[in-house]
């Protein structure tokens, strides 16, 4: 039988931090967790949409300001948050025009990977159960250039930059699992991806791809945001989810949660170590 939100164990008394909880996958993840009894800290940049959603979800939804494209905001958020059970690194940007974060990072790498890397490191001592980091099927096309992680020396290619950031997410989640286990920690690290889900993320490329993806969203090859959130929810709540594994739709792009295949480059220990060291250097946050 396919796993669904009906299979989420009772989450009463448990607290989650979800980045980008105000829309798309983050909203659906938050809705499902609240319905299961959890308390959710909605860590969002857009306070207006976050507060509007929290008002609908009730007193167990708490909004906190977090801009992953600004390390000062990440640090301030981490200082305000108390102990909790699960961190869900969900927020992300996809294939946007070239922009820079407050700290000068390429916006997709800075938000999707470096912001979450710093956030995880600053919060790790407060997490009691697990960390879930979202990657994407697009990680398959990631070709990390650690000599130019932030696209300062090359012509910017938005889809390549996105794929790189998602490969970084996968490598980080897997390496975090290994290092937590080696350190003797009982905290787990899982990675998830939504397949092809209609989340609104697709409408910000500011290119002809926005129209193409709007058309694709009406076809059977695309699932709803609620369905796309299921791998994340499985990784975040199921007692059967295992540290270091990558969860996605069973049919790659659509379907119920299942252990997902991935690009074997994510297993390269040398690259993972180098990415980890570079991420610590760039963010100024030491993780494990």
pLDDT at 197 over 50: yes
- pLDDT at residue 211, as a whole number: 45
- pLDDT at residue 220, as a whole number: 59
Query: CB atoms < 10 A from the CB of 230, how many?
Result: 32
pLDDT at 204 over 50: no
pLDDT at 286 over 90: yes
pLDDT at 20 over 60: yes
Measured distance between the N- and C-terminal CA atoms of the chain, rounded to whole angstroms:
38
Superfamily of domain 11-283: NAD(P)-binding Rossmann-like Domain (3.40.50.720)
Task: Please write the tens of the pLDDT for every residue from 64-79.
Answer: 999 999 999 999 999 9
pLDDT at 51 over 60: yes
Cα distances from 264 to residues 118, 121, 141, 268, in angstroms, run 25, 25, 11, 8
CA–CA separation, 260 and 267 (whole Å): 14
Catalytic residue (one of 156, 162, 234, 247) = 162
Instruction: Say which residues have a Cβ less than 8 Å from residue 132's Cβ, sequence separation at least 6.
Output: 86, 87, 88, 89, 90, 173, 189, 190, 191, 192, 232, 235, 236
* Mean pLDDT along residues 131-149: 98
162 classed as catalytic: yes
- pLDDT at residue 276, as a whole number: 98
Task: Please write the tens of the pLDDT for every residue from 88-121.
Answer: 999 999 999 999 999 999 999 999 999 999 999 9
pLDDT at 212 over 50: no
Check: CB of residue 69 under 8 Å from CB of residue 101: yes
CA–CA separation, 272 and 117 (whole Å): 13
What confidence tier does 215 reach under pLDDT thresholds 50, 70, 90? very low
Beta bridge partners of 64: 43
What confidence tier does 216 reach under pLDDT thresholds 50, 70, 90? very low
What confidence tier does 202 reach under pLDDT thresholds 50, 70, 90? very low
- pLDDT at residue 210, as a whole number: 53
| CA 261 remoteness from chain centre | 18
Element (H, E) at 131: strand 127-134
Q: What is the dihedral of CA 132, 258, 227, 48, to 10 degrees?
A: 10
| Average pLDDT for the chain | 94
Check: CB of residue 253 under 8 Å from CB of residue 221: yes
Query: Model-level pTM?
Result: 0.94
* Mean pLDDT along residues 251-259: 96
**Rg (the chain; Cα; Å):** 17
């Amino acid at each position: 039988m396919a796993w669904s939100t009906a299979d989420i164990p009772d989450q009463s008394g448990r607290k989650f931090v979800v980045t980008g909880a105000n829309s798309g996958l983050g909203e659906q993840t938050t809705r499902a967790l609240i319905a299961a009894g959890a308390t959710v800290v909605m860590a969002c940049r857009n306070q207006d949409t976050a507060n509007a959603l929290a008002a609908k979800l009730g007193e167990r939804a708490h909004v906190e300001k977090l801009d992953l494209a600004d390390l000062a905001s990440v640090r301030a958020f981490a200082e305000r948050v108390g102990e909790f059970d699960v961190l869900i690194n969900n927020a992300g940007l996809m294939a946007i025009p070239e922009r820079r974060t407050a700290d000068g990072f390429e916006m997709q790498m800075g938000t999707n990977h470096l912001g979450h890397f710093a956030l995880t490191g600053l919060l790790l001592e407060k997490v009691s159960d697990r960390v879930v980091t979202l990657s994407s099927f697009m990680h398959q096309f990631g070709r990390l250039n650690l000599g130019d992680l932030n696209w300062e020396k090359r012509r910017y290619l938005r889809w390549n930059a996105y794929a790189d950031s998602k490969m970084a997410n996968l490598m980080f989640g897997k390496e975090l699992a290994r290092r937590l286990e080696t350190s003797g920690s009982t905290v787990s690290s899982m990675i998830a991806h939504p397949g092809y889900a209609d989340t609104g993320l697709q409408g910000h490329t500011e290119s002809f791809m926005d129209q193409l993806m709007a058309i694709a969203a009406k076809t059977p090859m695309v699932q709803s945001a609620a369905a796309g959130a299921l791998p994340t929810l499985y990784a975040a709540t199921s007692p059967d989810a295992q540290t270091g594994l990558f969860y996605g739709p069973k049919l790659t792009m659509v379907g119920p949660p299942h252990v997902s295949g991935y690009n074997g480059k994510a297993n390269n220990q040398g690259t993972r170590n180098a990415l980890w060291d570079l991420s610590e250097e760039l963010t100024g946050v030491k993780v494990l």
